[in-house]
Amino acid sequence: MALPELKQTATQERLSSLSQPEGGCLAGARHAALSRVQATGLPGRRDEYWKYTRPDTLVQATAPEASVFHHDEEPMFDGFDRLKIVFVDGVFDESASDDLELEGVRIDRISDISKQDIHWVKDLYGVLEARGQSPVARPLAALNTAFAREGVAIHVTGKPSKPINLIYIHKSEKSDAMLHHVIRVDPGAEATILENGPAASRFNKCTEIDIADGASLHLICAQGRDHERRAATHMFARLGKETTFKSFTLTVNGVLTRNETVVELLGDDAVAHVSGACVGDGDFHHDDTVFVTHDAVNCESRQVFKKVLRNGATGVFQGKILVKNKAQKTDGYQISQALMLDDDSQFLAKPELEIYADDVVCSHGSTSGAIDENALFYLRSRGVPNDAATDLLTLAFLGEAVDEIEDHEIATDIVERLENWLIRRR
Amino acid sequence: MLNINNLHVQLEEEDKQILKGVNLTVEPGKVHAIMGPNGSGKSTLSYVLSGKGGYEVTEGSATLDGQDLLEQEAEERAAAGLFLAFQYPVEIPGVGNMTFLRTAVNAQRKARGEDELSAAEFLKEVRAQAKSLKIDAEMLKRPVNVGFSGGEKKRNEILQMAMLQPKMCILDETDSGLDVDAMKLVAEGVNALRSENRGFLVITHYQRLLDHIKPDVVHIMANGRIVKTGGPELALEVENNGYADILAEVG
């Protein structure tokens, strides 16, 4: 079917502003991705999947400018021993990065891989993204596969002694960055990957993750705190037998963020937890779109998303659990909740379950509400001032999502940062 | 200490008068009990004194050591030394009991211009108090009142009272939902806090709590007013004859 004219024009305009990296072993994947974008067109306002989030500024040929936000808070994860890989406005910064050497893991830059021929990267780059285009198209991810020049290929072969930290620095008001990462975790291997920073004025990130049997991966991502930045991120994860995948995303500020997560549980006894906490006020729009597919026996999945909104901020949640007919003994859980600190904010939620197996436990819940007045009075009657009591209850609300972080020290650090955010906005 | 003078209160949302001229004075060191039938305004009195929203004071005053309570926020009243033990203690998921207690203790100290307790000082104090109320360490770690039994919730109220060391304690039907043993334990906790500087206002339906917490003065409240005041014998009279005789007597 031909694309509507408006969509075709917008897509052509965007495509003509970009050029593909030439040659290399990923050329085939990039060309195929370009065909996918051309076939579906880029997201438009009338697309059902973009009903609650306007894609215009994510799609338009030139990125809207975003001022660089300066603050005196210690950069995220600075207090932790990690291997740093720094990108400034989407470009690898060798001098600010550590040597990409760490026992138990091999790290290559996507821009170098094009010249080499690393089999696992070829087998993964654009592959999970392509799988993730059905049943719902994700054209911004295909656009990323087709045009991203930078990113890292992380091959976890053992148990690296420290986390790998991807740091995204925003320097130029006009930056429009694309990064494509591929991560492969070998059987029985384990790693933690941290990501933080605003990245660019407009950021398109795509991560493909392949977790082999018995392996585990933890991802902790902090987006923020630049107010005017825009981001569309996609994460595609494929889980083998007896694997564990846990992802937590913290989003602070940002005029537009759309985080799409696509998880496929393909091996028996796999566990996938996808969680997120966000805080925003005023001109803040945050969208979590999650699609978890159970296609194996006895797997567990959890989606836990909490949003604190005020002064007209908007939160969106579109979450789905699809249980295929052979996925017996599935344990699926999904919760999305918004805490609205005033009457001006809104939360738009579309929780979905689609179940074809008959022996499953699946539950979902979605709520939006204000601070519990009874709890607030209880705290105040014990002498806790109104502001502090409100903050305490707000942090408690975010707690269920933050609790998904296994590393206690990182979780504590994130709670402190959230607390400071709340205090600054009293 | 606590002086309530001609207090008139109505609901904010509807034109319904609940308290219709309450007069009451609690002196330091004394335990006053308020008894009365359902709907007489006992709980409203405790809420209005402690600063809960939703009520409008249309006339009268309430002071603690000369300070106007009604002008203050709930947290200011707490820092000034007022404490309400709730009839239904609120469950607060996600806030640890210890965090809650420490935040409250230090917020009050700060409001009074005192140094905050260090983690070690606080821990020592809370462990000692919890032990005497038979509150185990596990209960202190759990979120505030979440999954607590009725008895545990009330003991937790008394623990807060013990930690905050208020001047004036209001106990709103602290005996409700308690079995005999739990009531004894709670009463022992309260009795341990009795001192010549501290006043108590014990709101209850039944005389049995007053067997354990011996009052100095007993008031009968009906229809938004205190209609009769007497000694401990008044509570026994209610227990034996119900409220009907007293209400008929005062018209």
CA dist., res. A418 & res. A248, Å (int): 14
Q: How confident is the model at residue B179 (pLDDT cuts 50, 70, 90)?
A: confident
Secondary element (H or E) of residue A391 = helix A386-402
Q: For chain B, what percent of residues have pLDDT higher than 90? A: 76
Residue in the block written with tokens 């709980």 = B43
Does residue A1 surpass a pLDDT of 70? no
Q: How confident is the model at residue A339 (pLDDT cuts 50, 70, 90)?
A: very high
A59: DSSP letter: H
Q: Note the residue count of chain A.
A: 426
Average pLDDT over residues B72-99: 95
Does residue A12 surpass a pLDDT of 90? yes
Calculated CA dihedral for residues A373, A377, A378, A384, nearest 10 degrees = 120
Tell whether A399 is within 8 A of chain B (Cβ).
yes
**Which tokens is B99 given?**
């965090």
User: Which residue, among A374, A382, A402, would best test binding to B if mutated, counting the most B CBs under 10 Å from its CB?
Assistant: A382
Does residue A107 surpass a pLDDT of 80? yes
Q: How confident is the model at residue A113 (pLDDT cuts 50, 70, 90)?
A: confident
- Res A168: pLDDT: 98
- Res B182: pLDDT: 87
Q: Which residues of chain B have a CB within 8 Å of the CB of A388?
A: 103, 107
Tell whether B160 is within 8 A of chain A (Cβ).
yes
| Tens digits of residue pLDDT in A146-157 | 999 999 999 999
Q: Which residues of chain A have a CB within 8 Å of the CB of B100?
A: 379, 382, 392
Of A385, A386, A397, the CB nearest to B94: A397
Are A164 and A99 spatial neighbours (Cβ–Cβ below 8 Å)?
no
Report CB contact under 8 Å: B94, A381.
Answer: no
Tell whether A396 is within 8 A of chain B (Cβ).
yes
DSSP secondary structure string for all residues of A341-379:
SSSS-EEEEEEEEEE--SS-EEEEEEEEE---HHHHHHH
Report CB contact under 8 Å: B94, A396.
Answer: yes
Taking CA–CA distances from B157, the nearest residue in chain A reads: A382
CB atoms within 10 A of CB A43: 25
A280 CA to chain B: closest CA distance, Å? Answer: 21
Inter-axis angle of helices B119-132 and B150-164, to 10 degrees?
Answer: 130
CA dist., res. B247 & res. B237, Å (int): 12
Of A374, A388, A395, the CB nearest to B107: A388
User: Number of residue pairs across A and B with CB atoms under 8 Å?
Assistant: 78
Q: Which residues of chain B have a CB within 8 Å of the CB of A384?
A: 75, 103-104, 107
A399 CA to chain B: closest CA distance, Å? Answer: 6
Taking CA–CA distances from A386, the nearest residue in chain B reads: B75
**Three-class SS of B149-193:** CHHHHHHHHHHHHHHHCCCEEEEECCCCCCCHHHHHHHHHHHHHH
B143 CA to chain A: closest CA distance, Å? Answer: 10
User: Which residue, among B46, B64, B103, B142, would best test binding to A if mutated, counting the most A CBs under 10 Å from its CB?
Assistant: B103
Taking CA–CA distances from B111, the nearest residue in chain A reads: A383
DSSP secondary structure string for all residues of chain B:
-EEEEEEEEEESSS--EEEEEEEEEE-TT-EEEEE--TTSSHHHHHHHHHT-SSEEEEEEEEEETTEESTTS-HHHHHHTTEEEE-SSPPPEEEEEHHHHHHHHHHHHHHHTTPPPPPHHHHHHHHHHHHHHTT--HHHHHSEETTT--HHHHHHHHHHHHHHH--SEEEEESTTTT--HHHHHHHHHHHHHH--TT-EEEEE-S-THHHHHS--SEEEEEETTEEEEEE-THHHHHHHHH-SHHHHHHH-
Q: How confident is the model at residue B208 (pLDDT cuts 50, 70, 90)?
A: confident
B104 CA to chain A: closest CA distance, Å? Answer: 5
Report CB contact under 8 Å: B107, A396.
Answer: no
Tell whether B86 is within 8 A of chain A (Cβ).
yes
Tell whether A392 is within 8 A of chain B (Cβ).
yes
Tell whether B74 is within 8 A of chain A (Cβ).
yes
Q: Which residues of chain B have a CB within 8 Å of the CB of A380?
A: 51, 73-75, 78
- Res B240: pLDDT: 87
Q: Coil, strand, or helix at residue A86?
A: strand
Does residue A89 surpass a pLDDT of 80? yes
Average pLDDT over residues B175-200: 90
A60: DSSP letter: S
Does residue A58 surpass a pLDDT of 90? yes
Does residue A124 surpass a pLDDT of 90? yes
Q: For chain A, what percent of residues have pLDDT higher than 90? A: 94
- Res A102: pLDDT: 97
Query: What mean pLDDT, rounded, does chain A reach?
Result: 96
Average pLDDT over residues A3-23: 93
Are B159 and B129 spatial neighbours (Cβ–Cβ below 8 Å)?
yes
- Res B206: pLDDT: 83
Of B75, B90, B103, the CB nearest to A392: B103
Q: Among residues A373, A370, A371, which one has the least CA distance to residue B51? A: A373
Residues 136-155 of B with CB under 8 A from A: 143
Average pLDDT over residues B216-237: 93
Average pLDDT over residues B150-154: 90
Q: Which residues of chain B have a CB within 8 Å of the CB of A397?
A: 94
- CATH architecture, range B2-250: 3-Layer(aba) Sandwich (3.40)
Q: Coil, strand, or helix at residue A380?
A: helix
| Tens digits of residue pLDDT in A295-335 | 999 999 999 999 999 999 999 999 999 999 999 999 999 99
CA dist., res. A135 & res. A138, Å (int): 10
Report CB contact under 8 Å: A388, B103.
Answer: yes
| Tens digits of residue pLDDT in A354-390 | 999 999 999 999 999 999 999 999 999 999 999 999 9
User: Which residue, among A378, A387, A403, A419, would best test binding to B if mutated, counting the most B CBs under 10 Å from its CB?
Assistant: A378
Backbone angles phi, psi at B135, to 5 degrees: -100, 120
Tell whether B161 is within 8 A of chain A (Cβ).
no
B49 CA to chain A: closest CA distance, Å? Answer: 10
Average pLDDT over residues A163-169: 98
Taking CA–CA distances from B163, the nearest residue in chain A reads: A382
Report CB contact under 8 Å: B164, A385.
Answer: no
Taking CA–CA distances from A377, the nearest residue in chain B reads: B52
- Res B251: pLDDT: 66
DSSP secondary structure string for all residues of A173-236:
TT-EEEEEEEEEE-TT-EEEEEEES--SSEEEEEEEEEE-TT-EEEEEEEE---SS-EEEEEEE
Report CB contact under 8 Å: B50, A374.
Answer: no
Does residue A42 surpass a pLDDT of 80? yes
For chain B, the structural domain boundaries read 2-250
| Tens digits of residue pLDDT in A216-245 | 999 999 998 999 999 999 999 999 999 999
Q: How confident is the model at residue A83 (pLDDT cuts 50, 70, 90)?
A: very high
Q: Which residues of chain A have a CB within 8 Å of the CB of B94?
A: 393, 395-397, 399-400
Of B93, B99, B164, the CB nearest to A382: B164
Does residue A117 surpass a pLDDT of 80? no
Does residue A414 surpass a pLDDT of 80? yes
